[in-house]
Structure 1
Amino acid sequence: MAATDGHGAGTGFFTSVEDVSARLAEAGYLASAAVATTVFLADRLGKPLLVEGPAGVGKTELAKAVARVGGARLVRLQCYEGIDEARALYEWNHAKQLLRITAGRDESWDDARGDIFGEEFLLARPLLTAIRGDEPTVLLIDETDKADVEVEGLLLEVLGDFQITVPELGTITATRHPFVLLTSNATRELSEALRRRCLYLHLDYPDAALEARIVRLLVPGLDAVLADGLVQVVGALRAMELRKAPSVAETVDWARTLLALGADTLDDTVIRDSLGVVLKHQDDIIRAAAKLAPA
């Protein structure tokens, strides 16, 4: 894999769209043509990739799969309400700084200040860790929409120039660009400034044919006809007005459940007894059981 020169080169994980599809499939991630194309372009152009869509459609898993096939370390920034610069970028080790100041009481403040704002006192958080790395890296900024709007400002320098400015040390620029993937469940609108710096991919629930392929790939012991029937039931569940629709991962969990139960058909009893695998709210289970019951 080619290293970047730090001036806009891609990460060099993939050679073609077909290469993306084939290697992600080997890693257990079946990508549509749109997904494979967008991942290839993000890799080739060295652009961050913003993946938006409902929870449970494989956004985070896409980043993990890219890291696996690229032989890259995965650096993850999990966003949440209240996350700040100290948790996203860096912070200073105040306890260590205090010890250094105490040990050097006879020094002038200017000399002490120069010592305590050095690399040994800097605690790198995910964004700085990914920027400073010289090995292949996938930076996952997960659930970006859960962070406060102000956090987006922290991301702009990283996503636009692959650099971070530490006032006491200067600007730290990536010598090797990470593959950056941001996810969003679209619970709030992300800023245009952030979107402008990214390629965009909307990831929705897969169609029935693709989801059945995913189930057969990840649960190879399940009968193909049973897998198809399972996917049809999951599709019917997603069409209902539920508090939480089943994710693709929960479809796979249900398939593994059927295999563990030794079920050879998806009858009413099996469905009713195992709905808790794919539905996580009691009112959803009651609603689904009533809808799926035979007339």
Structure 2
Amino acid sequence: MPNAAMPRSIDETLALLDGAGYVADRSLATVLHLSLAMKRPLFLEGEAGVGKTEIAKVLATSLNRNLIRLQCYEGLDLSTAVYEWNYAAQMVEIRVSEAAGDTDHDELSKNVFSERFLIKRPVLQALQPSLDGPPVFLIDELDRADEAFEAFLLEVLADNQVTIPELGTIRAAEPPIVIITTNRTREIHDALKRRCLYHWVDYPDAARELQIVRRKVPGAPERLAEEVVAFVQRLRAEEDLFKQPGVAETLDWATALTELNEMALDPDMVSDTLGVLLKYQDDIERVRGSKARQMVEDIRKDLRRSEMPAL
């Protein structure tokens, strides 16, 4: 399948995202359009579950590009992220050469440290030429990696290249489409941020979150979708929770209640299914029972009030 054309405007970027089922606001579409036009990495920061990773997946699907994902974690090193040598194959090659009487060590060294024995990890894969065009390179949850790895990425982001001592510098003919996400568990160094365009991905407002639920959980009854979104919005605004529910949790909860054939929020069912929405016991205990019942009643009153015709 041929590559799709890059969006030429903010409106086309919005349409691209919408066509893949991603409900974005105009500010996100603007910075994404600029990132694609300027060929600069896009640094997305925000709470977990607000849709940062999904943007890279949607781009890869919409533009018909390969998606290369580097999931970051503490202790991530070059052998996992960039490359490593196939030591077992190198040893076999050395023994075969020695058995054949090849004693030219310089030539043997060049042979075993050739690209034939190179295992390419995500960073190196993202820099390789492809008939499908530059891939979408997702560096996910960079804040989980160590600062040393963050420093290594400066060469990749600034010059679209990596240096392998045995082979030299490998540079991309065309820069990949780079999306970097972070949940802000630690601050990322300014030197890396300067090489990127930046956008804070916030929780959606009620209207956009309801649109997302309608799009992603089409089987949910309208009243249930409205009450689920209103409940989650009230939780974020009024409750001091250890971890606020993200859009992903909203969708999971709406899906779970739909599977249970609920037509609207029932206080007892809310308490029984809070583990789908909230992930910490202290948060669940704070909301369960009388608090959940009162919130459902308040939501019903607010929705009825909004439906009343203006005098």
TM-score, normalised to structure 1, is 0.93
Which position in structure 2 is the counterpart of 1:69?
62
SS at match of 2:68: strand
**Contact 2:223/2:263 (CA < 8 Å) preserved in 1?**
no
Structure 1 position 221 matched with structure 2 position 214: no
**Contact 1:12/1:43 (CA < 8 Å) preserved in 2?**
no
Which position in structure 2 is the counterpart of 1:132?
128
Distance, in Å, in 1 between the alignment partners of 2:129 and 2:45 is 27
> What letter matches 2:215 in structure 1?
L
Structure 1 position 31 matched with structure 2 position 24: yes
Which position in structure 1 is the counterpart of 2:244?
245
Q: Output aligned runs, 1:101-116, within 5 Å.
A: 101-105=94-98, 106=101, 107-116=103-112
> What letter matches 1:220 in structure 2?
P
**Contact 1:279/1:285 (CA < 8 Å) preserved in 2?**
yes
Which position in structure 1 is the counterpart of 2:293?
293
Q: Which runs of 5+ in 1 are unaligned?
A: 4-10
Q: Which of 106-115 and 80-89 deviates more?
A: 106-115
Distance, in Å, in 2 between the alignment partners of 1:221 and 1:23 is 24
1:43-78 per-position Cα deviation (integer Å, ceiling 9, x unaligned): 010000000011111010111111110111110000
Which position in structure 2 is the counterpart of 1:14?
7
Question: In percent, how many aligned pairs have the same letter?
Answer: 47
1:201-223 per-position Cα deviation (integer Å, ceiling 9, x unaligned): 10011111110100011112223
Distance, in Å, in 2 between the alignment partners of 1:159 and 1:222 is 43
1:212-269 per-position Cα deviation (integer Å, ceiling 9, x unaligned): 1000111122232321211111122224222322121111111112221111121212
Which position in structure 2 is the counterpart of 1:97?
90
Residue 2 of structure 1, CA deviation: 10
**Contact 1:78/1:143 (CA < 8 Å) preserved in 2?**
yes
Distance, in Å, in 2 between the alignment partners of 1:14 and 1:25 is 13
Which position in structure 2 is the counterpart of 1:147?
145
Distance, in Å, in 2 between the alignment partners of 1:118 and 1:282 is 54
> What letter matches 2:48 in structure 1?
A
Distance, in Å, in 1 between the alignment partners of 2:67 and 2:226 is 33
Q: Which of 237-246 and 196-205 deviates more?
A: 237-246
> What letter matches 1:294 in structure 2?
Q
SS at match of 1:141: strand
Distance, in Å, in 2 between the alignment partners of 1:13 and 1:128 is 24
1:248-292 per-position Cα deviation (integer Å, ceiling 9, x unaligned): 111111111222111112121221121111112222211111532
Which position in structure 2 is the counterpart of 1:233?
231
Which position in structure 2 is the counterpart of 1:184?
182
> What letter matches 1:238 in structure 2?
R
**Contact 1:2/1:12 (CA < 8 Å) preserved in 2?**
no
> What letter matches 2:279 in structure 1?
K
Distance, in Å, in 1 between the alignment partners of 2:292 and 2:45 is 30
SS at match of 2:149: helix
Distance, in Å, in 2 between the alignment partners of 1:18 and 1:225 is 31
Cα 1:263–1:2 shift into 2, 3 Å? closer
SS at match of 1:51: strand
Which position in structure 2 is the counterpart of 1:8?
none
Query: Which protein shows a greater Rg?
Result: 2
Q: Which of 268-277 and 135-144 deviates more?
A: 268-277
Distance, in Å, in 2 between the alignment partners of 1:44 and 1:28 is 22
**Contact 2:2/2:64 (CA < 8 Å) preserved in 1?**
no
> What letter matches 2:220 in structure 1?
L
Distance, in Å, in 1 between the alignment partners of 2:165 and 2:42 is 28
Which position in structure 2 is the counterpart of 1:200?
198
Residue 173 of structure 1, CA deviation: 1.3
TM-score, normalised to structure 2, is 0.88
RMSD (Å), alpha carbons: 1.9
Structure 1 position 120 matched with structure 2 position 103: no
> What letter matches 1:97 in structure 2?
Q
Deviation beyond 3 Å, 4+ runs, structure 1: none
**Contact 1:56/1:248 (CA < 8 Å) preserved in 2?**
yes
Q: Which runs of 5+ in 2 are unaligned?
A: 296-311
> What letter matches 1:130 in structure 2?
A
Distance, in Å, in 1 between the alignment partners of 2:151 and 2:283 is 39
Residue 181 of structure 1, CA deviation: 0.2
> What letter matches 2:107 in structure 1?
D
